[in-house]
Amino acid sequence: MTFIRTLIWFVLAGVAMLGAVWLAERPGNVTVQWRGWRLDTSVGVLLVAVLILILVGIALWLVYRWIMGAPGALMEGWGESRRRKGYRELTQGLAAVAAGDGTEAQRHARRAEQLLSEPPLTLLLSAQAAQLNGDRDSATRAFKAMLEDDEMAFLGLRGLIAQSLRDGNQQQALTYAQRAFALRPQTPWVVHSLFDMQAQTGQWKAAQETLETGMRQKVVSADRARTLRALLLVERSRSGENDGNDAQALAFAREAFGLAPERIAVASRLAELQIKSGDGKRAMKTLEKTWSLAPHPDLAELYIKASGESDPLKQVGIVRRLTAQRPEDLESNLALAKVALDAGLWGEARRYLDAAGGSNPTVRVCRLMAEVEERAQSDQAKVHDWLSRAAHAPADKAWRCSACHAHHESWRSVCESCGAFGTLHWRAPGTFGQVLPPEARPALGMTTMNTVSGG
Ligand SMILES: [Zn+2]
C-alpha cells in the first residue's frame, strides 16, 4: 500500500515537473480585457491563481461544515448533563421515599420526569411518592402506566394488588394477583398473596393448585404445604357434603387425615362423616389417634356420639377409653370431669378437676368446679368462691390465630380478623411469639404459609 502511494506521488511529482518545464519552454501571455480594465500576465501566474482559488474554496467549505455541525455536538453535551440531572433527581427522590418524606419525593419525581425520557424509572418513584402522600389516584395511575412496560409490569401489579386490598376490593386484587402469578410464579409474595385471596374467597381447588406450584417452586416448605393441603381438603369435603356428594366428601376427609392427623379440624371432619355413614367404630379410631396427638373437647363430644351410648354413666367409661392414651393431659381430665358431672358423679368430677387444675386452676376448671358445687347442692359460698377465682384465673387454651393472635369461638380455616388461612390453633395465650404488624399481613400474604404449624 505504502509502496503504491509513494509510487503515485513520484509519478505526480514527475508530471508536475514536466508540466512546469513544458510551460517554461513555451512562455505565453494572457491578456484579460473587461470593460476598460486590462490585465497582462503569464500563463504560469494564471494557473497558480486558479489553484489558490480552489484551495480557498475547499477551506470555506470546511468552515461551513464545522459551523453547521456544531449545534448537534452542543445539543449532545446538553442532553448528557440533562440526563445526569435527571438521575440525580431520581436518586434524591428514592432517598426521600426511604426517609418517608412524600412531599419531597413527589417534587423530585416531577423534576426527574421532566428531565428523563425513561418513564419506567420515574413511574416507580412517582407511584411510591404518591402512595406516601396518600394520593391514591396518582399512585394508581402510575402503577397502571407501569403495566405497559414489560420490565415494570410486575412491580406495577404489586402496587395495584396492595392498593386494591386497601380499598377492600378483593375481586380486583385477585385479578391482579393472578396476572402477577402468571408472570412470576417463583416469587414468594405472589404465591402467598394469591393463595390467601383464593382461600378467602372460598376457591379451595384453585388455592390447592397455587399451593402445589408454591411447593414446586420451593416457596412453601413441604411441612407447611402438607398441613395447608389437609385444611383445604377439609373445606373441599364440606363443599362436597353441602352439594350432596357424601362419597366425595368422605374421600377428601380421608385424604386430609392421612396428611395431617394432628389437626383437630381434620379429625373432626373425618369422624363426622364416618358417624354420618354409620361407621361409629372407625370414627372412634380416628378420634383416638388425634387425641393422642392433640386432645380437644370437640373430639371427646364426637367420641361419645360415635359410640352411640346415651347412658351418662356408661359415657364416663367411654371417655375414659379415649383419654387413656394421655391420662395426665389437662384436656383429658376436663373431658372426664365434664362427663362425670353429667352422670352426677360429683366426687369423681371434683377429683378430675383437682387433677386438671393443680395449684393454679384455669378459668374453665374454676367454672366447672362452681358448676359441680352448684349441682351437688353444696354450700353457696363454695360456688361463689369458685366463680370469683375464675375471674382472676389464668386463661385457657382457645382457638387463637398465630398471625394476629385474635381469639375465635370455634375453628375456621380463614381467620376472621386477619384473613390468613390455616392459622387457628388450640393454644394458650402468649404461645405464639410476636404479632406481625397489620401491614405485613394480608397485603403481602406472608402469614399463612410462614406461621407455626401444629395445634
Ligand atoms: Zn388472624
Output the DSSP codes for 152-171. THHHHHHHHHHHHHHTT-HH
Q: Which residues contact 52 (CB under 8 A, 6 or more apart)?
A: none
What is the whole-number distance in angstroms between the Cα of residue 412 and the centre of ligand 1? 11
pLDDT for position 27: 66
What is the whole-number distance in angstroms between the Cα of residue 366 and the centre of ligand 1? 28
What is the whole-number distance in angstroms between the Cα of residue 432 and the centre of ligand 1? 12
pLDDT for position 438: 47
Domain count, the chain: 2
C-alpha cell at 157: 401489579
Residue 22 lies inside a defined structural domain of this protein: no
Paired strand residues for 426: 399
What is the whole-number distance in angstroms between the Cα of residue 401 and the centre of ligand 1? 5
State the DSSP code for 448.
Answer: T
Look at the alpha carbons of 250, 251, 253, 257 in this order and tell me if their dihedral is positive or negative. positive
What is the whole-number distance in angstroms between the Cα of residue 15 and the centre of ligand 1? 101
What is the whole-number distance in angstroms between the Cα of residue 355 and the centre of ligand 1? 33
Q: Which residues contact 55 (CB under 8 A, 6 or more apart)?
A: none
Alpha carbon distance 346, 375 (integer Å): 8
* Chosen domain end from 395, 424, 440: 395
What is the whole-number distance in angstroms between the Cα of residue 436 and the centre of ligand 1? 10
What is the whole-number distance in angstroms between the Cα of residue 183 and the centre of ligand 1? 29
Residue 349 lies inside a defined structural domain of this protein: yes
What is the whole-number distance in angstroms between the Cα of residue 455 and the centre of ligand 1? 15
Phi, psi (degrees; rounded to nearest 5) at 348: -65, -40
* Chosen domain end from 378, 395, 412: 395
pLDDT averaged over consecutive 10-residue blocks of the chain (455 residues)?
76 78 72 80 78 90 82 72 87 89 88 80 86 88 89 90 89 93 92 93 95 92 94 98 97 98 97 97 97 96 97 96 93 96 95 92 95 89 94 94 94 93 92 57 47 43
C-alpha cell at 52: 489558490
What is the whole-number distance in angstroms between the Cα of residue 193 and the centre of ligand 1? 15
Cα atoms found within 13 Å of the Cα of residue 86, Cβ hemisphere only: 16
What is the whole-number distance in angstroms between the Cα of residue 423 and the centre of ligand 1? 7
What is the whole-number distance in angstroms between the Cα of residue 224 and the centre of ligand 1? 17
Same domain, yes or no, for 429 and 448? yes
Alpha carbon distance 238, 372 (integer Å): 37
CATH number, domain at 368?
1.25.40
What is the whole-number distance in angstroms between the Cα of residue 143 and the centre of ligand 1? 29
* Chosen domain end from 395, 410, 430: 395
What is the whole-number distance in angstroms between the Cα of residue 405 and the centre of ligand 1? 6
Full residue range of the structural domain in which residue 356 is found: 327-395
For the question of whether the overall pTM of this predicted structure is more than 0.75, the answer is no
Are the C-beta atoms of 407 and 424 separated by less than 8 Å? no
What is the whole-number distance in angstroms between the Cα of residue 441 and the centre of ligand 1? 9
Residue 446 lies inside a defined structural domain of this protein: yes
pLDDT for position 48: 79
C-alpha cell at 340: 362425670
What is the whole-number distance in angstroms between the Cα of residue 416 and the centre of ligand 1? 7
Residue 360 lies inside a defined structural domain of this protein: yes
What is the whole-number distance in angstroms between the Cα of residue 145 and the centre of ligand 1? 34
